[in-house]
Amino acid sequence: MIRILLLLLLAWHGPASAHKASTSYLQLSVHGEAVTGRWDVALRDLDYALGLDTDGDTLLTWGEVRHQQSRIAAYALRRLTLRADQDDCRLLVEGLQIADHSDGRYASLTIKGKCPHEPVSLGLHYELLFDVDAQHRGLLNLDFRGSHSALLAPEERTVRFNAAGASGFSVFTQYFRAGVSHLWTGWDHMLFLAGLFLPAVVRRRAGTWQPASSLKVALIDTSIMVTAFTLAHALTLSLAATGLFSPPVRWVESGVAASVLFAGLNNLIPMVYRHLFWLAAAFGLVHGAAIAGALIELGLPAGDRVWALLAFNLGVEAAQLAVLLVVIPPSFICRRSRYYRWLVVIPGALIITVVGALWLVQRAFDVDFAFARF
């Protein structure tokens, strides 16, 4: 009893500085999609976590460290996640060297990686050594649109770097770009639009396909549809992103799949062919709720929420209109050809229908089809 008591008393008798506590040094650069960096982790810590001293003689040699590069790499990489917006970047350890720090030798890992797309916001999650040493800290130096630093601790494992603190204009351009890139990388969004666009130059009238009378009409028609979609989309997106409305993810995702299925099917067996913009608007509401998840991941800058939301929606709209401008004129020229219908509209609609159906099953019933993963 007394022994414990004294141990306690003396345990904090000298709380002042001492040996250095466990620290890792992580330097990363993210330019475009490419990630490069270096990660220094104390050999003493790696040994404590992994047991590197294979011959148990308490002397850690270069041979022992070098031969266990893949173990060290696997251990470290499992504890570090880098996310470009909501998608994980792939990280690899390309090399292992040694670095001398003030408290001993460190394994210096050369990091290479690739993100699925150029990130607007970069998230980093760090778990190294916290399970064995609660005093461990990770010191991050990041070069990503300027240099940042962060301290990673058990109570602070995730950090995010985005447009926060930037000027209003740069917030706008960043979120505008995010909106554009959302469209380019969002397959379900694209397919739904394709479903709407495909028949824009041909019309179902009185049971037959009629070519649209002029390019102007075709462009105006599709623009109205797309804009109706975007307006509806903006409404739910803003509500969801500001936290006023949060529908269950599974329902929303299934709704998006259902909309793709419907858009495809509608070209094969026309069910709705007048006032398509109402249909576009209805599905816009569902898509908006789905994208909110992505935008929440990005994070909204505190002072510039409205700005960022507006920019994101305008980005989506601009990208959609750009797609229209590129796709509609050539389709218009080909619209009288019967090949257009048989080689483009019908196969396209079939693909859209099938993919929409697969997604619907996958999302609604939580089944994983490897070939339908986007």
Partner 1 sequence: MRFGGILAALCVVAVAPTAAAATPSYTPRSDSEVLERLAVPRLAGAATLRELREHWTAQPRSVPAALAYARAALELSRREEDPRYLGYAEAALAPWWDRPVAPPEIMLLRASMRLSRMDHANALRDLQSLIDSPAPEGHAARITRAAVRLSQGDPVASLADCTAASAYVSRLAAVTCTSAAKGLAGDAASGYAELDEALVGSAGAPLAMELWARGVAAELAQRLGRPPDARRHFEDATRRMAAADATDPGLLASYADFLLDQREPKRVQTLLAPYPRQDTLLLRLTLAERALGLAGDTAAAAAAEERTRYLTLRFDEMRQRGDRTHLREQALFELSVRGNAANALQLLRQSWANQREPIDARLYLRAAVAAKQPEAAQPVIDWLRSAGLKDVRLQPELATVLKQAPSR
Residues near 217 by Cβ (< 8 Å), separated by ≥ 6?
none
Between 26 and 280, name the residue whose CB sits nearer to partner 1. Answer: 26
Between 19 and 338, name the residue whose CB sits nearer to partner 1. Answer: 19
Between 136 and 189, name the residue whose CB sits nearer to partner 1. Answer: 136
- Cα 249 to Cα 181, 187, 244, 284, 363: the distances in Å are 21, 17, 15, 16, 10
Between 108 and 173, name the residue whose CB sits nearer to partner 1. Answer: 108
Between 33 and 127, name the residue whose CB sits nearer to partner 1. Answer: 127
Q: How far is the CB of 39 from partner 1 (least distance, A)?
A: 10
Between 27 and 81, name the residue whose CB sits nearer to partner 1. Answer: 27
Binding site for partner 1 (CB under 8 A): 1-23, 25, 27, 38, 40, 43-45, 47-48, 53, 58-63, 65-66, 97-105, 108, 130-137, 139, 141, 151, 153
Task: Determine the residue type at 112.
Answer: K
Report whether 105 contacts 59 (CB < 8 A): no
Between 50 and 344, name the residue whose CB sits nearer to partner 1. Answer: 50
Q: How far is the CB of 325 from partner 1 (least distance, A)?
A: 48
Between 47 and 118, name the residue whose CB sits nearer to partner 1. Answer: 47
Tokens encoding 117:
């797309």
Q: How far is the CB of 29 from partner 1 (least distance, A)?
A: 12
Q: How far is the CB of 61 from partner 1 (least distance, A)?
A: 6
Alpha-carbon Rg for the chain, nearest whole angstrom, is 27
Residues near 178 by Cβ (< 8 Å), separated by ≥ 6?
85, 120, 121, 295, 298, 312, 315
Q: How far is the CB of 91 from partner 1 (least distance, A)?
A: 18
In this structure, the chain runs to a length of 374
Nearest to 336 by CA among 217, 230, 203, 229: 203
Tokens encoding 58:
């308490």
Q: How far is the CB of 52 from partner 1 (least distance, A)?
A: 9
Q: Which residues pair with 83 in a beta bridge?
A: 88, 123
Report whether 38 contacts 111 (CB < 8 A): yes
Can you tell me the distance from the alpha carbon of 226 to that of 244, in angstroms, rounded to the nearest whole number?
A: 25
Alpha-helix residue ranges (DSSP H) falling in 96-214: 168-185, 187-197
Can you tell me the distance from the alpha carbon of 192 to that of 87, in angstroms, rounded to the nearest whole number?
A: 22
Can you tell me the distance from the alpha carbon of 332 to that of 202, in angstroms, rounded to the nearest whole number?
A: 8
Q: How far is the CB of 143 from partner 1 (least distance, A)?
A: 11
Q: How far is the CB of 79 from partner 1 (least distance, A)?
A: 14
Report whether 218 contacts 212 (CB < 8 A): yes
Q: How far is the CB of 31 from partner 1 (least distance, A)?
A: 18
Between 105 and 305, name the residue whose CB sits nearer to partner 1. Answer: 105
